[in-house]
Amino acid sequence: MSRLDSFIRRMMAQRACLDMAMELVRNVEGPVLELGLGNGRTYDHLREIAPRREIFVFERAVAAHPDCVPAADHLFLGDLLDSLPKVWDRFHRQTALAHMDVGTGEAEASKRLSNEIALLLAPVMRPGGIVVSDQAQDVPGWTLLPLPPGVREGRYHLYRVNP
């Protein structure tokens, strides 16, 4: 498979998982966290599918299209390993949905980083909340959910936070 085809399949899986996750948290109160802004495509999609929810973004440095950058009061700049613990009190057990797309381009480094971030994310997740991740996670209290139709196992991951 070409890298282009792989990218397209990953984006389709990401969209399908985000859409399903938003449906799963329809009756779960709380904000949405976007961990990794990138060029802003996912953030823009989240604004479209969750127009009544606050969306907070965590990013090392903004490099997104100007139309896809959140307001300063909804943007946390810096290393996720430093910025997530700083919001534990503010978002403690309040987040309905979190999307983690923090890949580095190198498989093992991405997995390690994602696992560290997931453990820091856990304290802000509301019971019944959903975590959408590009990497597999092993977080106590998170249950792996079935993927939407058409999404290949391992391409993306959905987790429900247990009560």
Instruction: Report pTM.
Output: 0.95
The highest-confidence range among 4-13, 59-68, 119-128, by mean pLDDT, is 119-128
The answer to whether 26 touches 32, Cβ cutoff 8 Å, is no
Query: What residues are paired with 142 via a beta bridge?
Result: 161
Say if CB 64 and CB 40 are below 8 A apart: yes
What tokens were used for 26?
A: 């329809």
How far is the CA of 39 from the CAs of 61, 68, 104, 139, 160, in angstroms?
Answer: 11, 8, 14, 28, 27
Q: pLDDT tens digit string along 64-76?
A: 999 999 999 999 9
pLDDT digits (tens, 9 = 90+) for 70-129: 999 999 999 999 999 999 999 999 999 999 988 777 888 888 989 999 999 999 999 999
- In the chain, the number of structural domains is 1
pLDDT at 118: 96
Containing structural domain, residue 22: 3-161
Q: What is the CATH number of the domain that holds 7?
A: 3.40.50.150
